[in-house]
Copies of this chain bind each other. A is one copy, B any other.
Amino acid sequence: MTVRVMIVDDQALVRAGFRMVLDSQPDLAVVAEAIDGADALRVLDRVAVDVVVMDLRMPTMDGVEATRRICARRDDGRPRVLALTTFDTEADAFAALRAGASGFLLKNVPPEELMAAIRVVAQGDSVVAPSITRRLLDRFAGQLGPAPAADPRLAQLTEREREVLLLVAQGLSNAEIAARVHVAEATVKTHVGRILAKLQLRDRVQAVVLAYESGLITPGG
């Protein structure tokens, strides 16, 4: 079964190049082209397309907006959008994926990868450029799966240590904490040291993260 592809790009040269590459494949067929977002929407009213290869940077209606509209009005899952851009920026990629794109690649990918991506997207799966995948994971890996429940780790701390941790987690230095709790800075240092050791953390920065993640502190509370 052949995949019907539409190419959306304002540069005729790019369109021609993509068409060349894609039409060389027996299972891919470029059935439409468009020069910007508005044009793409008009063409999609008349032509059945499985995958839209969409440049993000375009005049008049940019690729993100076009992607949003295409995804908004599709009813049977098609067409799916594979977003392309020249620039490896988080903003472009996230905007496109948020708008509903099923894939995101940089324009400098080798032809085979582009073709593979089109097949994957046509199948209903997704492809994201490695540099963007990394950023995705950086941001969301912590939210995957079930949260590891309320930390039993905090129970290991003594009352005093929890108190100190709370202050650490508010951004105070050892000296400031010492002033607040009315003890010498040396004392605070030993407390902080014990906290890090017990919780198996490296520095106070990680302690702050744990304080938030464990619910010891809540943003705005």
Instruction: Give A contacts to B, CB under 8 Å.
Output: 89-91, 94-95, 97-98, 100, 102, 120, 123-128, 130-131, 133-145, 147, 159, 163, 166-171, 173, 180, 201-206, 208-209, 212-213, 215, 217-221
Cα A91 to Cα B160 in complex, Å, equals 10
A96 to chain B, nearest CB (A): 9
Residue of B nearest to A120 (CB): B130
Q: How many copies of this kind of chain does the complex include?
A: 2
B206 engages A171 (CB within 8 Å)? yes
Q: Which of B126, B139, B147 contacts A137 (CB 8 A)?
A: B126
A145 engages B212 (CB within 8 Å)? no
Cα A50 to Cα B16 in complex, Å, equals 41
Residues in B neighbouring A218, C-beta threshold 8 A = 219
B139 engages A98 (CB within 8 Å)? no
Residue of B nearest to A171 (CB): B206
Residues in B neighbouring A169, C-beta threshold 8 A = 209
Cα A134 to Cα B134 in complex, Å, equals 15
Given contacts A213-B219, A220-B147, contact A167 B138 (CB under 8 A): yes
Cα A138 to Cα B180 in complex, Å, equals 10
Given contacts A97-B141, A125-B134, A130-B126, contact A171 B205 (CB under 8 A): yes
Residues in B neighbouring A125, C-beta threshold 8 A = 130-131, 133-134
Q: Which of B94, B127, B134 contacts A145 (CB 8 A)?
A: B94
Residues in B neighbouring A219, C-beta threshold 8 A = 212-213, 215, 218-219
Q: Which of B135, B168, B201, B213 contacts A163 (CB 8 A)?
A: B135
Residues in B neighbouring A141, C-beta threshold 8 A = 97-98, 100
Q: Which of B94, B142, B171, B202 contacts A209 (CB 8 A)?
A: B171
